[in-house]
Chains A and B, each alone.
Chain A
Amino acid sequence: MARYAMVIDLHKCVGCGACDITCKNENNVDRGIFWAHHFTRTTGVFPNVKYEHVPTMCNHCNNAACVKACPTKAMYKDDKRLTLHDPKKCIGCKSCMQACPYDVISFNSKEPHGFWRDANSVIPDGTASGKETAEKLGQKIPYYNPERATTYAGIRPKGIVEKCTFCDHRLAKGEEPYCVFSCPAGARTAGDLDNPTGQVNLLLAKYGHKQLKPHVGTEPKVYYIRYY
């Protein structure tokens, strides 16, 4: 079976955040929760200043700390070596969040998407409200993506954690993860590590790579190549 990995080319990445935004869009992710995110770093002193932007996401670690920590096997490795989460098994103990060295798992402490249940209008009868907008469309979020629900909870309910699934629902249809598809810089490449001639292995062979916190032993499968 496949062994999926992501290569992020920091030389091509312009730090635009399209991956962050479109991941939310694709996966119906609530405000305050981030499956795809980034960290930035400014170093040096004027005028010799360096700024870096590094996109982050679940590393789908080969040796996933979250999977080990989960007391109910809700967090698991699938046959493509993705780290996936079963919302029906999750008891919301947050052990996985503590265990993940990359802080990429989030907990739904509230009923999600309350923004779209807010009935307040800034001008009564003149402007809409979140609730009215969502209700008119018959959805919990106006731009709810039903395709997400084919392999995971379309919207993760209160009380459980959630995280990047490597867009397994898109992979299942032969499509790339949405952040890869949407990156305007072409900085992200998803593919199978077991395919020696695939793009992922070609890039890794050509440029070498870095991983986040390789020393913690999780064997992360998001590889960063070149420099921002």
Chain B
Amino acid sequence: MEWHAPWDIRIAMDLFLGGLGVGVFLIAVLLNVYDKERNSKLSVMGSYLAPLLVGGGVLFLLSELGRPERFLSTLYNFNPQSVTSWGGLFQIGFMVIALIYAWQNFKGKTNGSTFRTLQGLGVLFAILVGVYHGLLLASLGRPLWAGGMIIALFLGSSLFGGMSLLVILRELGISIGVPAQVRSEAAAASSDKEFNFTMLFFTISAVELVLVLGWQFALYRSSADTLAAVNSMMESYGGLWIGIVIIAGLLIPLLGSLLTLVKDKSSEMSKGMALTLSALVLVGSFAFKHIVIMAGQGALPLIF
């Protein structure tokens, strides 16, 4: 019998775009908090991008549902035991908050307590959504997805992706929908206490690489079920996993950013390097999620 994975690439798209969205949101907020003046252009654009990305992900999710028109029933038929149920709630909650937050940014109302409250709530829901991604997989009990590490992995990958997306925007100097006063503020800012992207880039890539390798290592040392699952993952996706996820998506960004930092602790990557590495991170992050989602669905051996 031919076996088809119940979830196709659309679920990976949901988790990837949703992850980028919350990643962008969190980093944008971070920038906003760190240096409101200097980074406000990016943080404003981040606030637009976040709901767009998460919304895009949700659209993929909806199209993957057999009965998308019944999606909202996850709210009134809510099953507290179901992570999928919670996920629906979180995503909807995040979307609502992020949209209002974006609107506030657009209007330039970024100082009031409403803004701060929204920001706080947004951070909370972004983290919930980001955690939900991994938790969803973990809750389903399939061997490849089991354990808490998958949660950290997915969250890390999301942050890294979101961060890279912002770096790309920054390097390309894109500016859409940014209120005029913000644009001028940014231009006027001085350069001495600039946020160091490269440092963050390096830190996240290092942490994520350790997590991924640690995860894989742990899998190799666990029960027969899990071992079978990771072996079958490497059998079907080994090349992509090592080439794209580990080397291109984590190792090269790590080394690239490290190289820059070694030269000068406070310098930033060159434009070319920043763009290239960020693009690699995005590809790597998608490949990571896609492979884990697909491989995790492999048929389960039945045993007594």
Do A and B touch each other in the complex, judged by CB within 8 A? Answer: yes
Do residues B141 and A91 form an inter-chain contact, with CB atoms below 8 A?
A: no
Do residues B304 and A210 form an inter-chain contact, with CB atoms below 8 A?
A: yes
Smallest distance from the beta carbon of B50 to chain A beta carbons, Å? 23
The majority secondary structure among interface residues of chain A is loop
Smallest distance from the beta carbon of B130 to chain A beta carbons, Å? 19
Do residues B66 and A91 form an inter-chain contact, with CB atoms below 8 A?
A: yes
> What residue of chain B has the Cβ atom nearest to residue A218's Cβ?
B141
Smallest distance from the beta carbon of B168 to chain A beta carbons, Å? 32
Do residues A92 and B302 form an inter-chain contact, with CB atoms below 8 A?
A: no
Given A70-B82, A107-B6, are A102 and B300 neighbors across the interface (CB < 8 Å)?
yes
> What residue of chain A has the Cβ atom nearest to residue B11's Cβ?
A94
Smallest distance from the beta carbon of A83 to chain B beta carbons, Å? 14
What are the residues of chain B within 8 A of A213 when measuring CB–CB? 302-304
A54 contacts which of B68, B71, B302 (Cβ < 8 Å)?
B302
Chain B proximity mask over A74-101: 1 for CB below 8 Å, otherwise 0? 1000000000000001111111011101
Do residues B82 and A98 form an inter-chain contact, with CB atoms below 8 A?
A: no
Smallest distance from the beta carbon of B222 to chain A beta carbons, Å? 13
What are the residues of chain B within 8 A of A216 when measuring CB–CB? 141
A159 within 8 A of B: yes
What are the residues of chain B within 8 A of A54 when measuring CB–CB? 302
B300 contacts which of A68, A101, A161 (Cβ < 8 Å)?
A101
Within 8 A of A (CB), among B58-73: 64-68, 70-71, 73
B213 within 8 A of A: no
Do residues B82 and A69 form an inter-chain contact, with CB atoms below 8 A?
A: yes
Do residues A95 and B67 form an inter-chain contact, with CB atoms below 8 A?
A: no
What are the residues of chain B within 8 A of A92 when measuring CB–CB? 65-67
Give Cα distance in the complex from A67 to B1, angstroms: 26
B73 contacts which of A65, A72, A159 (Cβ < 8 Å)?
A72
A212 within 8 A of B: yes
A103 within 8 A of B: yes
Do residues B79 and A72 form an inter-chain contact, with CB atoms below 8 A?
A: yes
What are the residues of chain B within 8 A of A97 when measuring CB–CB? 6
Give Cα distance in the complex from A109 to B302, angstroms: 25
B302 contacts which of A56, A68, A158 (Cβ < 8 Å)?
A56
Give Cα distance in the complex from A158 to B67, angstroms: 9
B67 contacts which of A68, A159, A224 (Cβ < 8 Å)?
A159
Chain A proximity mask over B243-261: 1 for CB below 8 Å, otherwise 0? 0000000000000000000
What are the residues of chain A within 8 A of B82 when measuring CB–CB? 68-71, 95
Do residues A93 and B81 form an inter-chain contact, with CB atoms below 8 A?
A: no
Do residues A224 and B304 form an inter-chain contact, with CB atoms below 8 A?
A: yes
A-binding residues in B (CB < 8 A): 1, 6-7, 64-68, 70-71, 73-74, 77-79, 81-85, 87-88, 136, 139-142, 297, 299-300, 302-304
Beyond the given A65-B140, A72-B77, please list 13 additional residue pairs across the A-B interface where CB-CB is below 8 A: A72-B70, A72-B74, A72-B79, A73-B79, A89-B70, A90-B70, A91-B74, A101-B141, A107-B6, A212-B303, A213-B302, A213-B303, A213-B304
B-binding residues in A (CB < 8 A): 34, 39, 54, 56, 65, 67-74, 89-95, 97-99, 101-103, 107-109, 158-161, 210-214, 216, 224
**Those 9 A-B pairs whose CB atoms lie nearest each other, nearest first:** A92-B66, A159-B66, A71-B84, A71-B85, A72-B77, A94-B6, A210-B304, A98-B140, A68-B81
